[in-house]
Amino acid sequence: MGSGNGFFSTQEFNLDSKWLIDPQQLFVGPKIGEGAHAKVYEGKYKNQNVAIKVVRRGETPEEIARREGRFAREVAMLSKVQHKNLVKFIGACKEPVMVIVTELLLGGTLRKYLLNMRPKCLDMCVAIGFALDIARAMECLHSHGIIHWDLKPENLILTEDHKTVKLADFGLAREESLTEMMTAETGTYRWMAPELYSTVTLRQGEKKHYNHKVDAYSFAIVLWELIHNKLPFEGMSNLQAAYAAAFKNVRPSAEDLPEDLAAIVTSCWQEDPNARPNFTQIIQMLLHYLSTVSPPELVMMPPKRTTSENVVFPPESPGTSSLMAARDDVAETQKTVDGEDRRKGFFFCFNQCY
């Protein structure tokens, strides 16, 4: 695994000095998320509220090399692109532990937002507005030759006013020019493009069978979910949904959608990746549809829920659904960060609670 710029080396960690975080100025507050390979905390860096992702190094040499490579790749992706619909990267450091620091988004994940709203659906104009946010983020990534590979509601975070969606979690992102092979852990089956399943079992060195159009397929599933506020392939497990999509060409029903909108969804999830539109085309199609519908009605935001009412959804990949403060879940611990004298230093937290 490698790249000429050194970002993808597991042996060294190269990062422009402007992105290097000083651990001495990093203060850790309450934990707001945990995945298989990382924990995410709310905290402060130079008096700015931030999300702090601490990546576990692993136990075996192979595991350490794999996680260091993934960490370097994610940092490279985050530092390479900036866009209003991508989570803002603040910096990273590799010692004493691997840390990624980003802006703290207070609106929660799109997944949780939609779940709190059920059985109601988003106003159509609001749903299309969110879809445009996502499509613009993806257009930016693809213009830099980056495939996200893990586009799903858990990786889409809302701003505090619930008016903007930002794409997060670049742990699986790749440069399209690289020929690194897929692994079974890549992506989340329910949202993954069908062509990815055949690459999972390819031998190292065989020609890859995917390109940036895998993200267009995932976008179609997310768009369908935005409109219907239902889990795609409802009633199926993740693996059953993957099998149905890949080997039976099954898709969620688009029959009840307006013609123009159905055309967008079905074109994006076509079986032939080359027949799917790119995100510049998707944006134009969404804008055209938006121009044909009436202005959005006043939409009631889902009510705040207390800790006892909330369901906690563990992240499915490191950092997923964790680049935000779940204010309804950590209200009691928020004062830990607000009080300067009560904050934990980074090294204290590492030694005491990691």
**Residues catalogued as catalytic:** 150
53 known ligand binder: yes
Name residue, tokens 């350490």: 64
Alpha-carbon span 146 to 140, nearest angstrom: 9
State how beta strands 146-147 and 174-175 pair.
antiparallel
Question: Hey, how many other C-beta atoms are within 10 angstroms of the C-beta on 303?
Answer: 9
Tokens for 30, please give them.
């309450």
**150-177 per-residue burial string, b: 16 or more CB within 10 A, e: under 16:** bbbbbbbbbeeebebbbbbbbbbbbbee
Query: What are residue 44's DSSP bridge partners?
Result: 27, 49
Rg for the chain, CA atoms, rounded = 20
Tokens for 330, please give them.
């950590």
Binding-site sequence positions for ATP: 53
Binding-site residues from annotation = 53
